[in-house]
Amino acid sequence: MKNKNYQRQTIPYIILFMVIISVMVFYNLSKYKVNEFTYNEFITELSKGTVEKIEITEKTRAGVYFVTGQLKEYSEIESFKVNVPLSEPVLEKILVYITEDEIEMVTTPNPENSSFVTIFVNIIPTLLLIGVMIWLFTKIGGSNKNSMDFGRSRAKLNEEGGTVKFTDVAGLVEEKQEVSELIDFLKHPKKFQKLGARIPKGVLLVGPPGTGKTLLAKAVAGEANVPFYYISGSDFVELFVGVGASRVRDMFKQAKQTAPCLIFIDEIDAVGRQRGTGLGGGHDEREQTLNQLLTEMDGFGVNEGIIIIAATNRPDVLDPALLRPGRFDRQVTVSLPDQKEREAILGVHARGKIFDKSVNLENLSKRTPGFSGADLENLLNEAALLAVRRDLSSISMNEIDEATDRVLMGPAKESRKITDKEKKLIAIHESGHAIIGIKLENANEVHKITIIPRGHAGGYTMMLPKEEKFAVMTKDELLASITSLLSGRVAEELFLGQITTGASDDFRKATSIARSMVTEYGMSDLGPVQFEHKSEGVFLGRDYNKSRNFSDTVALEIDQEVRKIIDSCYKKATKIIKENEDLVMLLTDTLIEKETLTREEIVELVKTGKLSGLNNPNDLKAQARKYGIKGYTKMTEEELIKAIDTVKSKKDID
C-alpha cells in the first residue's frame, strides 16, 4: 500500500520534470539556425573563400561524407550542413581549397563503426522486445493462475499452532476442561484409539459476543502445538454458485495433508444457516456450501486427526443437520464471566499498565456485572487513555469510573449548556430512581447518580444487583425493577407538578418486563400459561419473531394484566417517594451542587443527612479536574477550594 501511494505521489513530479526537459531542449534547438547546402553551393562557397570552419564525418554506409561548418559571415548560432559524395577526386578538390584558404578543419570517425553503437542499435532493442514479451506472458499467466485459484480455500495456516496459551485465557474454567481432551487427543491419539474412543469431530463454541470464543480456540491450538487453520464463515460464500463448496473441499484436502490439525471456523452462522428458510426462499450458494461442509465432516475417517472448532453467537439459526452427533458432537457454552472470572480477566488485561494504589481489581469486578471479556479490556484501555490525556503518571479510580461511564453511556458532554430549570428536573428524576433502590427491599443497589449528560441521556442512575444472578429472577425482584423504572416519572409529578418526556425509555423497559411476566413467565392471575414464545422462523424479522397462540379475548386479558402490574408498581413508587420526600430533596440539592454522587456519598447522605466529603482533598481534586483547572495535583486544599470557587463564580456570571 505504501509503495502504491509513493508511486501515485511521484508520478506527477516525473511527468512535470519530463515536460520541463522537453521544453528546454526544444527551446535550445529552436535557437540554432542550420542552412542546408547542396554540393555545388558548398564548392562555390569554398571557391569564394567564405568558409571559416568545417567538420567532416565519414559515413561509409551511406557512401557520402557529412560536412558541417560555418561561413565567415555567420553568427555563433548559425551553421551549414552538406552531404559530399565519397570519391577521391572530390576529397582532393576540397582539400585544395582548405589548404589554400587555411580553413579550420576537424575530422570525426564514423560513429557507426563503434562497437558500443552497434550493440546499442542492434542488440538492445531486441532485448527490450524479448523482455516486454516475457512480462506480458507473465501477467497473462498470473491472471489465469488467480482465476484458477478462485475456488481455492482461503483458510490461513499457522504451522506451529500459535502463541496463545490457556494462561492467557482468564476464567472459563469449565470451558477449558471441555476442550482439554481435544489437546490430549492431538498429542496422544494412540491412547484414545487403544480403547476405541472417538474424539468429537466438531466442537461448537456458543456464547454472546466478546466472551472469548475465538481466544479459547487459539489457546487450544497453542497448547496442542499442531497446525491451525482459521477462516471466517463469510469467506466461503461468493456470488457464483459452487465456489464456496469448492473452497470447502480444498480446505479439507489441505487439512488431511497436515493432520493432526485444527480447523477453526469463526462466525459459522454465515454459512451454516438453516436451509430453505426466509421470505425470499433459499440461498443456492450458501446451501451448496453447507451441504459440502456436512459431506466433508461425515467423510472423515475414524480418528483421522482433524478437529473442527466453530464459534457463533446465533446457535438458533444453525441448520439442525450441522448440530447432530457425528458433525458437531459437542457444544460448549461460553457465557458472560462471573465476579471471580471478571477479576481474573481484569488481571490479564492489567498487564503492562501502571495503576494507582487506590485501584482494587476485586472491587472493580464487583461493579461490572454483565461485562464481557472484551468489555473489560476496553474499560481498562479507556481508563489508560484518559490517564494519558490528563497527563497522569498512573491510572486511578477516577479514570476507571469515568471509563465505566464512557463504555456504558458514552462520553460526558460537560460543555453542553443546560438551564437551571432543566438541571433541577433531571436531578429530581434521577433522585426518584435512586430512592427506590435505597428504600425498597428487593430493588437493586444504587452505586452512582449523575446529572451530567451522556449520549442521549440527560443523566442516569447506576443500579446493580445485590447478589449476582445469571438465570433466575423472582417475581418480587421483577416488580421492584418495574417500580424503580416508574419512580422517575412519579418524582416529576409529585415535586414539579408536571410530567416530561424523560421517562419514555423507562416506560418501554417497564412494559417489556410486565408483558414478559404475563405472557412468558406465568406471573399473573392468568396462571402458569405461556402465551408468547420466540418462533423458530428466525429469518422472518423481528416483528414476526413471536407467535400468538391465543384469541382476541385472551389478548384483552393480557393487556389488562399488564396494566394491573404497571398500576400497582406506580402506586408503590408513589407511596415510597411521598414517605421519603426529605431524602429525595436532599439528593436533588446535592446533585445540583456536585452533579455526581458515588455510592459512599449516597450512603453518607442517607445516614447523616449531609455530605462531609465536599472538602475532602480527593473530592476537591476530582472537581478541579472536572472544571479543567491546570496544575491541581500540586495545589494545597485551600488553593483547590479557592480555584474551584473562582471557576464556579465565573460560570455563574456567564
* Partner residues linked to 108 by β-bridges: 57
Task: Tell which residue, 225, 221, 231, 220, has the closest CA to residue 172.
Answer: 220
Burial class for 365, CB neighbours closer than 10 Å (0-12, 13-18, 19+)? buried
* Partner residues linked to 202 by β-bridges: 308
Cβ atoms of residues 241 and 285 within 8 Å: yes
How many other C-beta atoms are found inside a 10 Å radius of the C-beta of residue 517?
A: 19
* Partner residues linked to 84 by β-bridges: 65
User: What's the start-to-end Cα distance of the chain, in Å?
Assistant: 51
Cα 166 to chain center, whole Å?
25
Catalytic entry in 430, 492, 595, 601:
430
CA distance 430 to 187: 58
Burial class for 256, CB neighbours closer than 10 Å (0-12, 13-18, 19+)? middle
Cβ atoms of residues 201 and 297 within 8 Å: yes
Cell of 648: 464556579
Q: Which DSSP category does 317 fall into?
A: G
Q: Which amino acid is at 460?
A: Y
Cα 203 to chain center, whole Å?
27
Q: Clarify whether 430 is annotated catalytic.
A: yes
Q: Which amino acid is at 468?
A: E
Task: Tell which residue, 529, 524, 500, 501, has the closest CA to residue 513.
Answer: 524
- Catalytic residue set: 430
